[in-house]
Structure 1
Amino acid sequence: MTRWKKDAKEFSVSLSNDGSDGLSCRLPKPISEMLGKPEKIKFIIRGKGITVTKD
């Protein structure tokens, strides 16, 4: 399992093709803890950036 620095603000993750039309990845533990381990997350496109929120 990947270890993250306690003060890390950026997280790079690998994407894998699950055989369907989408990609999957594992959320870094600090992110899932901050989001409260949600069942869903939402990606919002804002200009040239992307925001991720729990849904």
Structure 2
Amino acid sequence: RALTSQDEEVVLSIQPIGELMVLAVEQETAAALVTESLGEFTPGERVRLKTRE
């Protein structure tokens, strides 16, 4: 549960995606996934990964 202020800014900057992921998984996991995937996927790709389950 150790979110830095930088992580919080990252989540806020992509708030719509963050909200989708919070609905899909527990909040801490969602925050970790959003932060981890920032450099790996475009926003559209992140949404596809979470919604095609």
Question: Which of the pair has the greater relative contact order for Cα pairs under 8 Å at 6+ separation?
Answer: 2
Q: State the TM-score, normalized to the length of structure 1.
A: 0.25
Q: Say which structure is richer in helix.
A: 2
The structure number with the bigger radius of gyration is 1
Q: Say which structure is richer in strand.
A: 1
